[in-house]
Structure formats: structure tokens, C-alpha cells
């Protein structure tokens, strides 16, 4: 009873490590009876006594009740012979060799004995009576442990049992709390069972509620109930479960029901549960007795058959079979479970030839193998085979393929055998679960049908399987192994034969049916599905909250999956598993899946009369539904339930139960088969930010015991290498918390300095060994607060100073050379030639200008042309007046380069050397045919400004310089506003003065007045121009008012705006500078060679542990620096240290101090007050309907 399917969340109140305590009403009920478990007669109405004797004879009152209603309340327990592990499985065939024949005879004798016992035992057909156990031998004998049949209860008994369970769950307020109450009752009253419960309490309590609900739901389906209890028995094979322990658990559970539901008077429900629990307990004992050894052999031998051979090195050759037998005889029995190394120096095929002789003759394979052995012997005698150089396969798959080639199987056979090999591990792993085994067999049939349409020889696979296992387990192989594996494969083979060859026919029929449906018929079909579904499961309406159009889209995808499962089963199995994990995150009840499948099949039967298509649809959709259900059951963890509830408190409670070595994986991975889902990723995607923040905090908390440190950063980035990008997309406010978790600061300062560890390995190195995209992602939102985080500043400085700066200056050095050449050719040599003309100077200037046009202009045209071509190819164009213009200019530097290229082209068109050489002059810069000299000079001036503007990129070399440039750039907007206001004032004043017809020629016309006012503002005008306005005092007043407004108001406003803007930008200018540097690093990194990158990473020593404090060697993956102790005060140690046991399998002790701070305490008080008011309201509303005791019970 310590294992079961995973269900829902159990209350956090029971997860804080408090000692087990039974429910309040249960404790009070026991105290009323002197601490003893009460009898049923204490609870019967009117004081009627009820005898609680042995389980055989009914009491008088029960006989009377049975006579009054003989058709109701009947318990029919059929006990057919259980021949196989799963329902409907095959009988064990007699072996081909003598050992198998002996085992078959023994099995036959046991079967005959079971038949005789069943004939002697009368069929139980009596009313449900009191079957409580007194602990004597008679009670033990009443558990049906000889065989496993089906439990058949009457309709009234089923209804009573279900009502009892529903009332119990309601009394506990939730299914999760009901499971917790069962767990607490067992731990408090049955102390001898406590040693069996090794799984954390939260997980066990969660399973109790779900597994009990599954049993109650299957009461009206005996076959399904048998499968459930059979599976439960297989899950408990490794525990020491005896009859007395089972009876103790049954008594505890029934007493709990009676105590919590003492005034419900549901005696029939109690007795029905008594029979159900007896049936479950007997099934657990039966499975343990009959199949524990066989299943343990399968499990152990399969694990050894796939054990890696790396520790032993490469296994050469094979040892002689006789030599291995001698070695086994000399090996003590206690060491027989380990596989001994095979002696080297022997020929592989000689040992294989002897081993092949043990393979039974299956499907004519013996003759082929005999011929092969004969051929091998001849080749060995002729020396045609290499000796002692062939490597023995170390795994089952490798050995199986080797045996298949030795047996001479055709390529077609090997193709379908490869499909079996791909699924073989799943078949063996699910041998204890008949439903899962059938599901895996169905998937295997689909895969086989895709590679072959002919009849497959399953006997050939059996021969190769046994031969491979005999070789790999040669030290341990025994008749028990032979029997177990033959039994396993016969079971699988019969399941495969049941549907072998049908999938191609089903696929064709289903595809033709869907193609024949038009849009209206498909819409009607989908609508019918939902109508049937909501009729079968009304509670499903609470989970389908989307519009009808979206519901039809979901139904269309489901219908498409039924055909795609036949076409590509491998891909669809993965897709269905991923879909099931997403349903886990949505907390969808598994019962709705079966209802949806049933509703779809009913709609299909109304749509068509084609039995083949209906069968194909039902089989495919049922397989998808089963896969979804088992994925949801296996993927439903307490962490996922806490995320669904968006409860950080539950997260803290459930992970507290996790082993310290697996704590991070609980929050990062929920694995089902080959698919997995991350609870952290789901919390981020579903916008449950409080839970995601709590998970991040827990993962990035450093914990330590005496043996090792535990830090979840490695697991976090291994699972989500793009965690920064995920957080920026889903919850940007959580990024500082993530970065803070990667920094450790010492609480001890030495000489005013403290140690700081930056664990930046995963921010720097990507999983593939290259540069991680952490800095690029952090810079993408343009958030200066994020890029100013100390770890990002440290990271960018480290990469820039030790790796990128050299490549950056090497690239920007070309720009400096271009600028120097431009200055020399356009400014320096031009003036020298004007002062002292010489042929040498003209040759030098001609050479510099040729270099300017070829190298500078050529590189600009090439880069712009390449970017434009890429824009055209990618469709990044904009239609301007019917012309498609490429859009590839992203930054202001791109615009400057494009403008510089145009200026250089115009300079080339006006180049004086070209005009003079065309007129016959020899390298002259002045000639009679020279034109556009002024235009050339102006273009040269503009080009000079553009060349110098590109040098602003060099400011990234220093953060302070870069910050100054960025602040100045952002202040240009304020200057622009001032200039705009000045222009308005000048134009308005000039036009006003023009209207007055001022006699001064300086104010003649609007343009003249504007020019004079601008000169006056710049204080470069003459006083005489204003003196002439004395004759027009009104005009002079206007000019004085203009100067006062501009000089006093506008100029001071500009100064104030610049001051305020600078103060505002000063706090973030470092962020802008860091942002620019990160962008530069990302842009330059592709030019860094892999050799330099590897040398840089190795020089950091990120794989070496670094100290926390002196002598305390800690974690690897970071670098250590020192900072001023006053910069970031750290009064407490950032490491949570614990004493006690240091085993990774032990959970951490409960952190009593971690209660979420003052705010968390107030939140808990507020929630408790609200809950108290809700309980009181429900109590008052239930006083009249349920009585005072029931209301008091609700309050408690």
C-alpha cells in the first residue's frame, strides 16, 4: 500500500514534518470508546446489536434482510484459474527442452490442485455482512490468496460503497485531504507498517486518494477492478507484505471510515468496503506469492543484460563454455549475481558455436544454425577467421543482431526485429502492468506494420532473444531464467498476434471514410462528439472554456491524430506523450479522457455503418486515450499540483520532502517515457509567476552539509540553457532574481573588502562550447537596470578586456587608416600643393586619392550592395512611389556609411585629377577645364565629418567615455527643441518688423530682418545697425523684447533642461554604456577564432572549485573577486548549512526560519481568518440539514 498511481496534491498542512496525527474526529471517536476501536453495534440506530464474528455465517438480521430482498446486495466472487500475468494472457507453454517439460508438469499439477480447490469451494452468493477481523488465524485464511478472481458486488452495494467514499471525501473537504487522513491513520495506529513507507509523505498521501478513487470507479467493472488490484500487487512486490499487515491496514481504514462518518448510518457501505479491501489485500498477497520471484528474475536479468561494459574495458574473444562452467562452480553462491569478466585470447566464434547448440529448434531455425556452425567450424579449421580480435557485443541489442546474422535471417526479418528491439525495453519494463503491456504491444504492431506486410516469425525472435540472453547471462543462467523469459515472450506474442496484420486495413478504411466527408458532415460529426461528451460527463464543461470554433479545431486535431497514428506511429507516440504532459499541467481529470473517447466512438457509429472504419477509429482513439491517461498519471506530481494551484507555500512544502540529491530535478523535470515537461517552464508559460519565482529561489540557494555543496544552477542551465530568454518573454521582472542567485557574497570582510563569487560559467559558455547568448538576450530589451547587474558588468568587462578588445581594435584600425588617408589626400597635401607645388606631392596626393576611391569607396559599395541584395532576397523591401527600396539600415552607423558612399561617388565624379588628365595636363589639380571645384570642396568637407563620426564607435573602449558620448547624444533632443523655438522667434519677429517698413536697410525684407536678429542673438552684429532704429522706437522695442526673450528665457530654459536631463540620464548612462559594450561584444565575437576562444575559457579555470571563505573550498563554475565591504552589505551567510546525515537520498531538515518574512506571516494570518469565516458560514448553513454534530465536524 506504499505505492500507487500518482494523483492530486495533498494539503500542505501535512507536509511540514510534524509527527503523524490521526484526524480530529477519529481521535475523539477512539477516546469515546476508551482508546479501543469501536464495534458496529455502537453505531447502529435504536441500539440494535450487530454481531461481529467470523466472515462466514451471516447474522439473523442479515438473513432476514436477504430474504426480503434476495436480488439486492449480492456478492458473487468467481475464482477462475489465474494462468497468466495479465487478464486474457496465454498459458505457459511447455518448454522445448527437458527442463521446460519438468516445469510444465509441475505447473499442470498446480493447476489441477487449484481446480479441485475451486470445485470444493462453493461460489459466494450471500448478502454483504460484517467481515471485520479479529486478528486470529481464521481471519487470515479468509483472504483469498490462492487464486485471483473477479469481485462482483450488487448494485446496492456498489452505490453504498461509492456514497461512503464520497461522504468521506466531503468530510475531509478534498480528495487530497482524504488521502492524507488515510496515511495519518495508518501511521498512527499501525506502527509496524511505518517501516514500509519510504516515499515522502506528500507523495504517498497524494497516491492514496487517487488509487482509492480508481477502485471505487471500477466496482461495476470486475475485469477492470481485477486489473487495478493486480497492478497494485505488482507494484508492491519489493515490500515485505504479510497477511497480518494487510489485515491491520484494512482494520485501520475501516475504523477511520466509521469514526469520520459515525452518523451517516451507511452500514452497507462499510461492509461493501470491507469486502473490497479484503479482495485487494488477497490480490496483493497472491501476486507476491506467485510472481515475485519470476518478475524479479526478469528485472534483474534484463538489467544485467544491458549493463555497460565500459568499466571492464573492451571484451575480446569468448571463453570456452566448459571453462565458464568451471569458473561458476568455483564461485561462491553469494557472488553469483555479478557478471565475471570473460577471459581474453579465445576465439569468439568458437565459444558462440558451442553456445548456439543450446538454442531450441524454433520455426526451423535449428537447421540453419547447424549449417552455420558447420561453416564456422570449417572456416576455423582453414584459418580463414581472425583469432582473438573480434569484440563481443556488450548489450542485448548488439548481441541480438549478431545472433540474427549468425542464424542467417533475411533482411526483411531483421527490419521488423529492429522494431521489436526498439520497443523491447518498454515491454520488459511494463510487464507488471497489463494495461501498459497491451498498450506497448499495440504500438509495436503499428511499427511492425510500417516495415512489413508479410507474416512475421515471432519464433525466430524468441530464438535470438534466448540465445542473446544466455550469452550475456552465462554466469547466472538457470532453468528459472529460461521459464521466466519463455513465459514473458509467449505473453507478448499472443498479444501481438491478436492485432497483427489489421492496422493496414484499418488505416485504409479510416482514411477513405474521412476523405468522403464534406465540410458540413465533418462539422456535424464534431458537434455530435461534444454533445455526447457533455451528456456523459457534465463536469467536462468546466474545462472547455474556449469558443465553439476553437473546440471544433481541437476535435479536428484529435480526428487527424487517429489517422496519423497509423501513418507515423513513432512520431505520434511522442506527440501524444507531450500532449499528455500538457494536460497534466492543466490539471485535467483522467476520467474525462475515457468519456471523450466513448463520446467520439458513439458519434462515429451514428456517422457510418462501416464496421471496419468504426473498429479502426475505436482502436486508434482508445490507444491515444490510454497513452494520454498513463502519461497524465505518471506525470502528475505534487510539484505540478502546487503550480496549478499557484501556491508558493505548497512548493516549499513539497520540495522539502525531496531527497537533497534530487531536489532540483523535482522542480525541473517530469519524465514520462521519452518525453518530459519542466515544471519551471510551465509555471512561466502559464503566468504563475509567484510559483516560478519560488522555484528559482530554491534552485539558486546554496545548501551544504559536511560532505558536499548543493547548488541547482548547473541543473537549471542544463535543463534550460535559454532560461534568460524564457524569463524575458514571460516574466521580465524575475530576471534580477535569477542573476542575484548566481552571485555569492561573503558575510566576512577583511580590511574593508569582501569576497564575491560570480557563477557565470553558464552565462559565458553555451552547451555546445561556444559563446552563450545570455548577454545578447539580456541586452535585447534595452533595459539599463538589467545590464547594470554586477554579474553582467563583470562578464562583459572580462570578455572585452581579455578577448574581444583585440579583435575590435584590429577591425576598427582599418577605419582609422581610411580616415588618415582621407585627411592626407583632402586636407594636408591640398594645402601643401597650394603653398609649394611639386610633382612628388601631386603623385603622393594622386596615390592617396586612388586608394581612397578603391579601398574606402569599394568596401562601402560592397557592404551596402550585399546588404541590399540580402534584403531583396528576404523580401525586406518597401514600396516608395512604385519603387521597391530595400530596408537594411538598422543603426545610425549604417546610414552614415551609406551617405559616405554617396559622397565619395560624387567626389569621384568631380575629381580634379580626372578633368585635368582629360584635357592633357599631367597630374594637375588646377587646369582650365576644371569645373565644380567648389562642389568638390564642399563634398570633401562633408566626407570629412562623416569619416570622423564613424570614430564614435571607438568610445566603447572605455565605459566612461562611452557613457559621456551616449548622454551627449541623448541631450541633442533638448538642443533641437531650443533651436526650433529660436527659429520661430526669429521668423516671427522678422516678419513683424517687415510690416512696419523700418527705414534701416538691415531690416529690409523678412530675410534681412531674420539675418540681423540672428547676428544680434549671437552678438556678432554692430551697434550701428540698432542705432538706426532710434527713429522708430516701436521697432527698437520689439528688437529688445526679442533679445530678452531669447537670451533670458530660451537660453535659461535650455540650460535647465540640459541639467535636468543630465541628472536623469546620469543614473542610467552606465547602463547605456554597458548596453553598447554588450552589443559590440556580440557583433565582434564571430570574428574571434575558436582557438582564442578555447584558450580564453581554459584560462578562467571554470571547472576548478573556488573558495567561499578561507579554507572553505566550494563550487566550480565561477570566478572570485573582491569588492568594498560597504558596497553591498551582507550581514548573513548566503549558504544554508545543515548537520546530521549527509546522504544525498535524505531530504534537508525543515527550515523553521524560512517562513517568507513579515509579509508572508501577514498573508498567512489573513488566509487563516478568511478560512475561519468560510468554515463558520458553512457550519451555520448546515445546522438544519446535517445536524449540530455534523456542523461541528465541518468546523473542526
Q: How far apart are the C-alpha atoms of 182 and 208, rounded to whole Å?
A: 7
Question: How does residue 121 score in pLDDT terms, banded at 50, 70 and 90?
Answer: very low
Q: How far apart are CA 564 and CA 620, in angstroms?
A: 10
HSE of 1092 in the Cβ direction (CA atoms, 13 Å)?
A: 12
Q: Kindly report, residue by residue over 1113-1161, the tens digit of the pLDDT.
A: 999 999 999 999 888 888 888 899 998 888 998 889 876 544 444 455 5
Determine the pLDDT at residue 18: 33
Residues 524 and 540: their CA atoms lie apart, in Å, by: 20
Considering 183-192, 278-287, 854-863, the range whose residues carry the highest mean pLDDT is 854-863
| Confidence at residue 444, expressed as pLDDT on a 0 to 100 scale | 92
Question: How far apart are the C-alpha atoms of 792 and 724, rounded to whole Å?
Answer: 12
**pLDDT at residue 1066, rounded to an integer:** 67
Q: How confident is the model at residue 113 (pLDDT cuts 50, 70, 90)?
A: very low
Amino acid 1046: pLDDT: 86
- Asked if 627 and 439 count as a contact pair (C-beta separation under 8 A), the reply is yes
In the predicted structure, residue 284 carries a pLDDT above the cut 90: no
Instruction: Give residue 520's pLDDT.
Output: 92
Q: Give DSSP secondary structure letters for 297-356.
A: HHHHHHHHHT---TTT---BS---HHHHHHHHHHS-GGGTTSPPPPPSSS-HHHHHHHHH
pLDDT at 1183: 41
Helix (H) or strand (E) holding 743: strand 743-750
Q: What is the mean pLDDT of residues 856-866?
A: 87
Confidence of residue 832 (pLDDT cuts 50, 70, 90): confident
Q: Helix, strand or coil for residue 1196?
A: coil
How much of the chain exceeds pLDDT 70, in percent? 73
Name the band, by pLDDT with cuts 50, 70 and 90, for residue 173.
Answer: confident
Q: From 167, 338, 347, 187, select the one nearest 263 (Cα to Cα).
A: 167
pLDDT digits (tens, 9 = 90+) for 954-967: 777 777 777 777 77
| Higher per-residue pLDDT: 879 or 42 | 879
Whether the per-residue pLDDT at 89 is higher than 90: the answer is no
**Does the pLDDT value for residue 351 go beyond 60?**
no
Say if pTM beats, i.e. exceeds, 0.75: no
pLDDT in tens, 387-415: 333 456 777 888 888 888 887 776 656 78
Residue for cell digits 571492464? Answer: 312
| 76 has pLDDT over 80 | no
Question: What pLDDT shows up at residue 1079?
Answer: 86
Give the residue, 184 or 926, on which the prediction is more confident: 184
Residue 265 pLDDT more than 70?
yes
Asked if 70 contacts 285 with a C-beta cutoff of 8 angstroms, the reply is: no
Average pLDDT in the 1076-1085 region?
86
Q: Where residue 616 falls among pLDDT bands split at 50, 70, 90?
A: very high
Q: What is the mean pLDDT of residues 533-539?
A: 89
The packing angle between helices 959-995 and 1051-1084, to 10°, is 140
Interval 7-35: pLDDT, tens: 332 323 332 333 333 333 333 333 333 44
| pLDDT tens figures, 456-510 | 888 888 888 898 898 888 888 988 888 889 988 988 888 898 888 899 999 999 9
> What is the rounded distance in angstroms from the CA atom of residue 304 to the CA atom of residue 313?
16
3-state secondary structure (DSSP) of residue 461: helix
Residue 1029: pLDDT band with limits 50, 70, 90 = low
Q: List own/partner pairs for 1137-1140 with CB under 8 A and 24 or more apart.
A: 1137/703, 1137/704, 1137/705, 1138/703, 1138/704, 1138/705, 1139/705, 1139/706, 1140/705
**pLDDT tier at 249, thresholds 50, 70, 90:** confident
| Nearest C-alpha neighbor of 303 from the set 337, 331, 278, 269 | 337
Mean pLDDT confidence for 244-249: 81
Q: Which of 724, 822, 737 is nearest to 764 (CA)?
A: 724
Residue 103: pLDDT above 60?
A: no
pLDDT at 1025 (0 to 100): 62
The single residue listed with the C-alpha cell 524575475 is: 734
Amino acid at each position: 500500500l506504499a505505492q500507487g498511481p500518482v494523483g492530486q496534491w495533498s494539503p500542505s498542512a501535512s507536509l511540514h514534518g510534524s509527527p503523524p496525527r490521526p484526524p480530529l474526529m477519529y481521535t475523539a471517536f477512539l477516546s469515546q470508546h476508551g482508546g479501543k476501536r469501536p464495534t458496529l453495534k455502537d453505531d447502529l440506530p435504536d441500539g440494535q446489536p450487530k454481531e461481529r464474528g467470523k466472515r462466514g455465517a451471516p447474522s439473523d438480521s442479515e438473513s432476514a434482510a436477504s430474504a426480503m430482498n434476495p436480488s439486492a446486495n449480492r456478492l458473487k466472487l468467481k475464482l477462475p484459474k489465474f494462468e497468466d500475468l495479465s487478464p486474457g494472457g496465454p498459458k505457459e507453454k511447455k518448454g522445448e527442452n527437458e527442463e521446460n517439460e519438468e516445469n510444465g508438469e509441475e505447473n499442470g499439477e498446480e493447476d489441477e490442485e487449484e481446480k479441485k480447490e475451486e470445485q470444493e469451494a462453493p461460489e459466494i452468493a450471500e448478502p454483504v455482512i460484517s467481515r471485520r477481523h479479529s486478528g486470529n488465524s481464521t481471519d487470515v485464511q479468509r483472504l483469498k490468496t490462492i487464486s485471483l478472481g473477479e469481485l462482483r458486488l450488487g448494485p446496492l452495494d456498489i452505490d453504498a460503497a461509492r456514497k461512503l467514499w464520497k461522504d468521506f471525501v466531503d468530510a475531509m473537504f478534498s480528495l487530497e485531504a482524504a488521502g492524507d487522513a488515510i496515511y495519518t491513520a495508518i501511521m498512527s495506529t499501525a506502527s509496524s507498517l511505518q517501516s514500509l513507507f519510504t516515499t515522502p509523505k506528500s507523495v504517498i498521501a497524494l497516491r492514496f486518494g487517487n488509487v482509492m478513487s480508481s477502485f471505487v470507479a471500477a466496482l461495476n467493472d470486475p475485469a477492470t477492478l481485477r486489473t487495478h488490484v493486480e497492478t497494485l500487487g505488482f507494484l508492491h512486490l519489493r515490500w515485505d507484505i504479510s497477511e497480518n499487515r494487510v489485515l491491520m491496514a484494512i482494520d485501520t481504514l475501516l475504523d477511520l471510515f466509521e469514526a469520520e462518518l459515525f452518523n451517516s448510518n451507511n452500514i452497507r457501505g462499510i461492509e461493501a468496503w470491507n469486502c473490497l479491501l479484503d479482495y485487494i489485500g488477497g490480490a496483493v498477497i497472491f501476486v507476491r506469492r506467485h510472481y515475485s520471484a519470476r518478475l524479479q528474475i526478469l528485472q534483474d536479468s534484463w538489467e544485467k543484460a544491458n549493463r555497460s561494459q565500459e568499466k571492464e574495458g573492451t571484451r575480446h574473444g569468448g571463453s570456452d563454455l566448459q571453462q565458464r562452467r568451471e569458473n561458476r562452480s568455483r564461485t561462491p553462491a553469494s557472488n553469483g549475481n555479478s557478471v565475471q569478466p570473460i577471459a581474453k585470447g579465445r576465439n569468439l566464434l568458437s565459444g558462440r558455436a558451442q553456445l548456439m547448440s543450446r538454442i531450441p529448434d524454433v520455426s526451423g531455425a535449428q537447421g540453419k544454425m547447424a549449417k552455420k556452425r558447420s561453416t564456422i567450424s570449417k572456416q576455423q579449421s582453414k584459418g580463414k577467421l581472425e583469432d582473438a580480435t573480434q569484440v563481443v557485443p556488450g548489450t542485448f541489442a548488439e548481441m541480438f543482431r549478431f545472433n540474427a546474422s549468425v542464424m542467417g535471417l533475411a533482411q526483411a526479418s531483421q527490419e521488423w526485429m529492429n522494431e521489436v528491439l526498439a520497443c523491447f525495453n518498454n515491454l520488459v519494463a511494463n510487464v507488471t502492468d497489463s494495461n501498459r503491456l497491451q498498450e506497448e504491444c499495440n504500438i509495436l504492431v503499428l511499427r511492425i506494420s510500417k516495415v512489413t506486410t508479410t507474416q512475421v516469425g515471432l519464433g525466430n525472435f524468441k530464438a535470438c532473444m534466448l540465445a542473446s540472453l544466455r550469452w550475456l547471462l552465462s554466469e547466472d543462467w538457470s532453468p528459472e531464467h529460461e521459464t521466466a523469459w519463455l513465459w514473458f515472450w509467449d505473453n507478448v506474442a499472443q498479444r501481438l498476434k491478436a492485432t497483427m496484420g489489421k492496422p493496414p486495413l484499418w488505416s485504409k478504411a479510416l482514411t477513405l471514410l474521412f476523405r468522403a466527408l464534406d465540410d458540413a458532415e465533418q462539422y456535424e460529426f464534431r458537434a455530435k462528439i461534444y454533445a455526447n461528451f457533455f451528456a456523459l460527463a457534465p463536469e467536462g464543461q468546466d474545462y472547455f472554456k474556449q469558443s465553439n470554433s476553437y473546440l471544433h479545431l481541437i476535435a479536428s486535431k484529435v480526428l487527424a491524430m487517429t489517422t496519423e497514428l497509423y501513418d507515423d506511429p513513432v512520431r505520434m507516440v511522442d506527440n501524444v506523450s507531450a500532449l499528455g504532459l500538457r494536460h497534466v499541467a492543466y490539471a485535467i481529470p483522467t476520467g474525462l479522457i475515457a468519456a471523450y473517447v466513448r463520446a467520439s466512438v458513439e458519434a462515429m457509429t451514428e456517422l457510418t455503418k462501416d464496421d471496419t472504419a468504426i473498429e479502426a477509429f475505436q482502436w486508434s482513439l482508445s490507444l491515444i486515450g490510454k497513452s494520454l491517461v498513463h502519461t497524465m498519471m505518471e506525470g502528475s506530481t505534487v510539484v505540478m499540483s502546487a503550480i496549478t494551484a499557484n501556491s508558493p507555500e505548497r512548493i516549499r512544502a513539497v520540495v522539502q520532502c525531496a531527497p537533497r540529491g534530487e531536489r532540483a530535478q523535482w522542480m525541473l523535470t517530469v519524465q514520462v517515457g521519452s518525453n518530459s515537461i519542466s515544471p519551471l517552464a510551465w509555471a512561466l508559460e502559464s503566468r504563475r509567476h509567484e510559483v516560478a519565482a519560488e522555484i528559482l529561489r530554491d534552485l539558486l540557494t546554496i545548501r551544504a552539509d559536511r560532505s558536499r555543496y548543493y547548488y541547482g544552477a548547473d541543473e537549471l542551465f542544463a535543463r534550460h540553457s535559454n532560461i534568460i530568454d524564457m524569463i524575458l518573454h514571460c516574466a521580465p521582472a524575475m530576471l534580477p532574481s535569477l542573476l542575484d542567485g548566481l552571485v555569492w557574497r561573503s558575510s566576512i570582510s577583511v580590511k574593508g573588502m569582501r569576497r564575491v563569487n560570480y557563477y557565470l560559467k553558464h552565462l559565458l559558455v553555451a552547451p555546445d562550447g561556444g559563446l552563450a547568448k545570455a548577454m545578447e538576450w539580456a541586452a535585447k530589451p534595452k533595459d539599463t537596470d538589467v545590464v547594470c547587474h554586477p554579474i553582467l558588468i563583470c562578464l562583459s568587462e572580462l570578455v572585452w578586456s581579455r578577448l574581444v578588445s583585440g579583435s575590435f581594435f584590429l577591425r576598427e584600425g582599418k577605419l582609422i587608416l581610411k580616415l588618415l588617408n582621407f585627411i592626407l589626400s583632402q586636407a594636408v597635401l591640398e594645402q601643401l600643393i597650394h603653398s609649394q607645388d611639386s610633382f612628388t606631392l601631386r603623385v603622393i596626393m594622386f596615390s592617396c586619392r586612388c586608394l581612397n576611391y578603391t579601398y574606402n569607396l569599394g568596401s562601402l559599395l560592397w557592404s551596402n550592395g550585399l546588404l541590399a541584395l540580402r534584403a531583396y532576397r528576404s523580401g525586406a523591401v518597401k514600396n516608395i512611389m512604385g519603387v521597391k527600396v530595400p530596408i537594411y539600415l538598422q543603426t545610425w552607423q549604417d546610414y552614415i556609411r551609406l551617405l559616405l558612399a554617396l559622397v565619395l561617388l560624387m567626389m569621384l565624379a568631380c575629381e580634379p585629377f580626372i578633368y585635368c588628365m582629360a584635357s592633357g595636363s599631367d597630374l594637375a589639380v588646377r587646369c582650365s577645364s576644371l569645373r565644380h571645384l567648389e562642389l568638390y570642396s564642399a563634398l570633401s568637407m562633408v566626407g570629412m565629418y562623416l569619416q570622423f563620426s564613424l570614430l564614435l564607435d571607438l568610445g566603447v573602449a572605455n565605459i566612461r567615455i562611452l557613457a559621456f558620448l551616449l548622454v551627449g547624444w541623448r541631450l541633442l533632443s533638448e538642443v533641437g527643441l531650443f533651436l526650433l523655438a529660436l527659429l520661430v522667434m526669429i521668423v516671427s519677429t522678422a516678419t513683424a518688423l517687415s510690416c512696419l517698413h523700418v527705414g534701416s536697410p538691415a531690416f529690409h525684407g523678412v530675410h534681412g530682418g531674420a539675418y540681423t536678429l540672428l547676428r544680434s542673438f549671437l552678438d556678432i552684429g554692430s551697434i550701428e545697425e540698432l542705432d538706426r532704429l532710434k527713429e522708430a522706437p516701436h521697432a527698437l522695442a520689439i528688437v529688445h523684447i526679442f533679445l530678452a526673450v531669447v537670451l533670458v528665457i530660451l537660453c535659461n530654459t535650455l540650460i535647465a533642461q540640459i541639467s535636468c536631463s543630465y541628472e536623469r540620464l546620469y543614473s542610467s548612462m552606465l547602463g547605456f554604456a554597458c548596453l553598447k559594450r554588450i552589443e559590440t561584444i556580440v557583433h565582434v565575437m564571430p570574428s574571434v577564432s575558436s582557438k582564442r576562444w578555447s584558450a580564453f575559457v581554459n584560462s578562467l579555470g571554470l571547472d576548478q572549485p573556488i573558495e567561499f571563505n578561507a579554507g572553505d573550498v566550494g563550487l566550480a563554475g565561477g570566478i572570485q573577486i573582491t569588492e568594498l565591504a560597504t558596497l553591498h552589505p551582507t550581514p548573513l551567510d548566503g549558504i544554508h548549512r545543515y548537520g546530521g546525515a549527509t546522504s544525498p537520498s535524505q531530504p534537508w531538515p525543515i527550515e523553521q526560519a524560512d517562513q517568507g518574512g513579515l509579509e508572508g506571516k501577514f498573508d498567512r494570518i489573513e488566509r487563516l481568518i478568511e478560512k475561519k469565516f468560510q468554515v463558520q458560514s458553512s457550519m451555520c448553513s448546515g445546522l438544519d440539514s446535517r445536524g449540530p454534530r455534523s456542523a461541528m465536524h465541518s468546523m473542526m
